[in-house]
Structure 1
Amino acid sequence: MAVQKPESDTIVAWPHPDVKNDLARLRQSSPLTHCITNIVVTNFTANVLLAVGGSPAMIVATEEVAEFVRIARALLINVGTITGHDAAAMLKAAATAAETGTPWVLDPVAAGVLEFRTSVVRELIRYNPAVIRGNASEILSVAGAVGGAKGVDSTASSLDALPVARKLAEQTGAVIAVSGEIDYITDGKSVIRVPGGDVIMTRVTGTGCALGALIAALLSVTESPLRAAASASAIFAIAGERAAKVSQGPGSFSVAFLDQLSLLPDGI
C-alpha cells in the first residue's frame, strides 16, 4: 500500500472488504471508547458510536480520567471547547494512555487560532497519539506551517496539506488524517485517499469531531492506526452519501446519518 506520490495513492471506499471487516469487528467487540470532547458535540458523538456498535463514555473529571483510561480500549481527546479544567484532564488522560499503551486520537480543533489551545495541543503531542485528525488548516498549524486557519473551518484543501501531513507523521510517529472534500490519511510513507461523503456534512455540527471518535474506537480492533483512520473515513463517507439522499436539510440529515451508520453494511 506504500506510495510516494499523491496521484498514485491507494483509494479506500465502501464496500472495500477491509472496511466492512473492520466494522464487523467493531460491532462484535463493542469497544469501550473514552471521549474527552467538546460540549457542542458530546451527544452527537456518543450517538454516532452507539449507531456503529461502539460503547462511548464521556468521562471528563480530572479526578477520574486516569482511572478510566486504564479501563477503556481507546481514547479521544478533542480540544474544541477547551478550558483550563479540560486541559488538565486531557493532559492527565494522555499521560495515562502513554503509560498504559492505550491507543488514542488527538483532534486539534482550531489549533493555530488561539495560543492557549495551541500550546495544549503541543503538550498533548508529547504523549504519542496514534492518530492526529483535523482539517487542512489545523494540520498545517499543528505542523508549524501557515495554514490560514479561520475558526474551526479550513481555508486550505486537504490536498494542500498532504505534504506537510506526511512530514508531521514522520516527526511525531502518528498517523495524520486530513479531512476535506477528499480525506487523506498518511503515516509518512503510505497515503490513503478516501473520497465520498456530501457537502451537507459541513453544515452539521459534530461530523468531523465524531469521526475522531470512530477512529479511536476502530484503533482497538484494526491492525494499524492507518487502517483505523481509513476505515472510519470510508464508513462516514458512505453513510453521509446515503443520508444526503433521504434528507431534506441539515436537521433531517443528522437523524438520517445516524440511521445509515446503524444500517451498514446493507444501507438503503
Structure 2
Amino acid sequence: MTPSSSLSPGSLLHHLRQTAPLVHNITNHVAMTPTANTLLAIGASPLMAHAQEEAQDISTISAALSINIGTLSQSWIEAMQLAAMYAQREGKLWVLDPVGIGASRLRHYACRVLLEHHPSVIRANASEVLALAGETSQSRGVDSGDDSEDAVDRASRAAISLARTQNCVVAMTGAIDVVTDGKRVIRVRGGHALMGRVTAMGCALSSVVAAFLAASLDGHDDTLQATAAALACYAEAGETAGQSVEGPGSFVPRFLDALYTLDADSPLLASRLELTDVT
C-alpha cells in the first residue's frame, strides 16, 4: 500500500497526538475504564456520557462518537439514537460497534435503528458482520464463532456487501483485519493472540477508530485509510506488548505502554497494510 503521506498511519497518529480529539463514547459497563485508558494512552481524550438530556451538548463539543451496544437497555438505546442523530446532523464521524448482535432480538433492533443514522464505520468481528449483513453466523454471545478460513472468507464478502449497502466503511477484525468501503479492501496484519483473551480490547479499538476519524478531518477526509491506520497502530502495539508477557494479566499494562510509546515514524506501521481493489 502506498497511502499519501498525509494519510499514512504514522502521520495520522502524530496529528492525533497533537490535537487530542475528544471522543464521545456510549459504551458498555465492562468497557468504560479500559476504553478510557486506551484512548488516553494513544493520545486522545475520552468522554463517557449516556444521558439523553446531554446528548446534544456532548455532540457539540466532541470531535467523534463511538457507540457500543454491549450492555443494552431501552433508555440507552434512545440515548444512542440521539447521539447518532446529533453526530450525523453536525457532520461528526461516528463508529458503530454491534457487540454480540446475534445474541438477542434487542441487539438486532438497536443496530437496525442506529443504522438509520448512517455510521461512518462499523467495527465488528466476523460473526457480527455476518449477522449484521443478514447471514447466518456462529456467534457465541459477544465472541466470534466464525474463525475458520472459509467462514472468514464468507464474512469478508459480507463486509464488502455491507459497506456498499450502508455506504460506510466496515472494519472486520480478527487474526487478519479486513477494512473495506465496498470498492477497496485493506488488510491489516499484526497483533497478538492475547488480545482475544482480554476483555474490552475490541470495544476500545472502536473508540480508537473514532479518534483516528477525528484526526483525519484536517483537510483530508478518507475514512477507509483513517480506519486502517487505527487498526495498524493497534496491531503494532499488541505485537510489541506480546513479546514480553506471561499471560493476559501482564498484557494489559504492556499494551497501554506500547500504545503510549508507539513510534509514529516507524515504517512498520505502513508495512502492515495491504490495499487491493474489489474485483
Q: TM-score, normalised by structure 2?
A: 0.88
Match of 1:257 in 2: 255
1:163, 1:58 → 2: CA distance? 34
Gapped runs of 5+ residues in structure 2? Answer: 266-279
Give the match's secondary structure for 1:210: helix
Query: Cα deviation per residue 1:215-253 (whole Å; 9 max; x = unaligned)?
Result: 001111223111121011101111001101122111110
Pick aligned residue for 1:190 from 184, 190, 210: 184
1:85 is the counterpart of 2:75: yes
Structure 1 counterpart of 2:87: 97
The one-character-per-residue Cα deviations of 1:14-58 (angstroms, maximum 9, x if unpaired) are xxx811111000001000100100110100100100001101000
Matched-pair contact (CA < 8 Å) for 1:159–1:184 = no
Q: Secondary structure at the match of 2:215?
A: coil
* Counterpart residue identity of residue 26, structure 1: L
The one of 58, 69, 90 equivalent to 1:68 is 58
How many residue pairs were aligned?
256
Question: Structure 1 CA distance, aligned partners of 2:60 and 2:156?
Answer: 34
Task: Give the aligned CA root-mean-square deviation in angstroms.
Answer: 1.9
The one-letter code matched in structure 2 to 1:180 is G
Residues 167-246 of structure 1: pairs in structure 2 closer than 5 A: 167-222=161-216, 223-246=221-244
Aligned pairs for 1:149-164 within 5 A = 149-157=139-147, 158-164=152-158
Gaps of 5+ in 1: 1-10
Residue identity in the other structure for 1:120 = A
- Is the partner of 1:20 in helix, strand or coil? helix
Q: Which moved more, 1:133-142 or 1:243-252?
A: 243-252
For the 8 Å contact 1:162–1:184, the answer to whether it is kept is yes
SS at match of 1:240: helix
Q: What corresponds to 2:28 in structure 1?
A: 38
Same amino acid, percent of matched pairs: 44
Aligned equivalent of 1:139? 129
Q: Which amino acid aligns with 1:130?
A: S
2:102–2:141 CA contact under 8 A, matched in 1: no
SS at match of 2:67: strand
Change (3 A) 1:36 1:159: same
CA distance in 1, matches of 2:162, 2:55: 28
Query: What's 1:5 paired with?
Result: none
Offset of residue 266 of structure 1: 7.2
Q: Paired residue for 1:3? A: none
In the aligned structure 2, how far is the partner of 1:79 from the partner of 1:226?
Answer: 22
- Distance between the aligned counterparts of 2:153 and 2:42, measured in 1? 28
Runs of 4+ in 1 over 6 A off after TM superposition: none
Cα pair 1:70 1:102 within 8 Å, conserved: no
Query: Distance in 2 between the 1:46 and 1:221 partners?
Result: 17
Whichever residue aligns with residue 105 of structure 1, its letter is: V
SS of 1:180 mapped into structure 2: coil
Q: Distance in 1 between the 2:163 and 2:187 partners? A: 16
The letter of the residue matching 1:144 is: G
Distance in 2 of aligned mates of 1:23 and 1:98 = 24
1:173 alignment partner AA: N
Q: Confirm or deny: 8 A CA contact 2:241 2:251 kept in the other structure.
A: yes
| 8 A contact 1:30–1:55 mirrored in 2 | yes
Secondary structure of the corresponding residue to residue 61 of structure 2:
coil
Residues in 1 aligned to 2:198 and 2:103: alpha-carbon distance in whole angstroms: 21
3-state SS of 2:8 partner? helix
In 1, the alpha carbon distance for the partners of 2:202 and 2:164 equals 24
Aligned to 1:248: 246
- For 1:14-33, list aligned pairs within 5 A: 18-33=8-23
Report the alpha carbon displacement of residue 70 of structure 1 after superposing the two structures with TM. 1.5
